[in-house]
Amino acid sequence: MDHEAIIVGAGFSGIGAALRLDRAGIHDYLVLEEGGGVGGAWYWNTYPGIAVDIPSFSYQFSFEKNPNWSRVYAPGAELKDYAEHCVAKYRLASRIRLNTKVLGARYDDDLDLWRVNAAGEEITARYLISATGLLSKPRMPDIDGIGDFAGTVIHTARWDHNADLTGKRVAVIGTGASGLQVIPEIADTAGKLTVFQRTPIWCLPKIDVRLPVPLRSLLRVKPFATAARLFGHAIAEIQFPLLVHYNGVLPISTLGQAISKAQLRWQVRDPRVRAKLRPDYTLGCKRPSISNTYLATFNRPNVALETAPIETVTAHGVRTADGVSHPIDILVLATGFKTWDPENMPAFPVHGSDGVELGGWWKVNRHQAYEGVSVPGFPNYFMIFGPYGYNGTSYFQLIETQMRHIVRCLARARRTGSTRIEVKPEANERYFRTMLQRQGKQVFQHGDCTGARSYYYDANGDIPFRPTTSLETAWRSVTFDLDDYTFAAPA
């Protein structure tokens, strides 16, 4: 066996997994990363205007707080710097193999280990930890003729920094969180910018300020750093878990919609444009966004909002269903990511015990995973982001919660000399049923989500997010019953 553990992905999930394994005394691991650098989403996404969309104080590890954030919502480059800082400080580089795409993994029942296909080379390990995240595979839109466009096409998740937008006719397709950030930035340089919106997004004010140096030095003092982190967590908790999972009992969406509508009235002059930008679904059905500049961009004389459906992309532009042709030089796709699609969940083919393939298993049995971490029939396989694992708060809360769970399993295996850890089907079933029962208060039940086109839904119509508060998820990670797993030693 080559290693005790393989971690797939060197984004924050993979870095966090590595740091937690080290802390647990498990040093023989290898991190495999497709990209040429660490940081995951923050390595790949470098479009103009990219920034974190929850307060930076909660977008960091609890044990490695960064006192250098320049703003409440730090720009993307600072997140990448923070990832590199963690790798350097904790001396992870020698255990990360970059430019190495994992093509598949197969469990060896005889030897209780994973055989991982790392860019064609087989590497074996007792444990396999998937740290590939939900938002890593860019989604190309299924629009006719897109391959015929003669100009430059750029997906926000793979920004082309050689493309010069100055004075050009630019079109953006997509008005999600990425579109919201990129549109105000490129409106300054583009000669003409046409934004193709299919579904409007709820846009809330961003309470963002620059953090002056004296304030940043306060963040070096533990109580202040802790208070800032708690503040960040509270905002993140309101922004998703409370808004979405407790919609039936808390009036957050009503309040948020009123604030968002007020911002729209205040920032957009033309009432017809305002009407087009106003969503008709309940806030929370799809991820809302925050910006102080997005809506006002539509007041600019060089920016047009187009809501007629796109019929086709031609060699020289976009034609909409009303027969109008929009000539363009550059097409920006802010069209998001493959999320619960079979190509992304799992991110690479995973064959468990007896050769069962995970994507196929989920297709038949619906997305499910015990505590969002493990699946029966897939021994020694753990996920940071699994079905019903993430409750939508800070991603760092998820990473630390899931790693607490995983480390408890590995520690018991060490104590008992076990080589095979597998969640019991009945424990998984119990957890799955509980998650489904807990969905009753969600916005998807209480709000009107018909027009939302939310990427939260999978092909079965399920929404595999964890319908609980962050406190509860954290508590579960330290209290779940280890007997929900079988720990087996070689015969």
* Interface ranges with ligand NAP (CB under 6 A): 51-53, 135, 141-143, 173-179, 181, 198-199, 287, 310, 334-337, 453, 455
Residue placing its CB nearer to ligand NAP in the complex, 26 or 252: 252
Least distance in angstroms from the C-beta of 116 to ligand NAP: 27
The sheet that has 330-333: what strands, in order across it? 152-155, 330-333, 169-173, 192-196, 303-306
Least distance in angstroms from the C-beta of 320 to ligand NAP: 11
Residue placing its CB nearer to ligand NAP in the complex, 129 or 332: 332
Residue placing its CB nearer to ligand NAP in the complex, 169 or 206: 206
- What is the C-alpha separation between 234 and 236, in angstroms, rounded? 5
Least distance in angstroms from the C-beta of 490 to ligand NAP: 43
Residue placing its CB nearer to ligand NAP in the complex, 370 or 455: 455
Please state, in angstroms and as integers, the Cα–Cα distance from residue 371 to each residue in 238, 305, 317, 473, following that order.
Answer: 22, 43, 47, 9
Residue placing its CB nearer to ligand NAP in the complex, 61 or 90: 61
| Tokens coding 64 | 């490695």
Residue closest to ligand NAP, measured at CB: 176
Least distance in angstroms from the C-beta of 467 to ligand NAP: 18
Least distance in angstroms from the C-beta of 392 to ligand NAP: 9
Nearest C-alpha neighbor of 46 from the set 158, 188, 162: 158
- Look at residue 105 and give its three-state secondary structure: strand
Residue placing its CB nearer to ligand NAP in the complex, 335 or 368: 335
- Look at residue 337 and give its three-state secondary structure: strand
Least distance in angstroms from the C-beta of 425 to ligand NAP: 32
Q: At what angle do helices 76-89 and 12-23 cross, to 10 degrees?
A: 20
Residue placing its CB nearer to ligand NAP in the complex, 113 or 180: 180
Residue placing its CB nearer to ligand NAP in the complex, 336 or 376: 336
| For the chain, the helix, strand and coil percentages under 3-state DSSP, each to the nearest 5 | 35, 20, 45
Least distance in angstroms from the C-beta of 59 to ligand NAP: 8
Question: What's the chain's Rg over C-alpha atoms?
Answer: 23
| Count of C-beta atoms within a 10 Å radius of residue 294 | 25
Least distance in angstroms from the C-beta of 154 to ligand NAP: 13
| Tokens coding 27 | 């040093």
Written as one string, the DSSP assignment of 394-444 is -HHHHHHHHHHHHHHHHHHHHHHT-SEEEE-HHHHHHHHHHHHHGGGGSHH
Residue placing its CB nearer to ligand NAP in the complex, 174 or 467: 174
| Count of C-beta atoms within a 10 Å radius of residue 252 | 18
Residue placing its CB nearer to ligand NAP in the complex, 374 or 391: 391
Least distance in angstroms from the C-beta of 390 to ligand NAP: 11
Least distance in angstroms from the C-beta of 135 to ligand NAP: 5
Q: How far apart are the first and last CA of the chain?
A: 18
Q: For residue 126, give every residue at least 6 positions away whose Cβ sits within 8 Å of its Cβ, in sequence order, or none.
A: 1, 3, 4, 5, 112, 113, 114, 380, 419
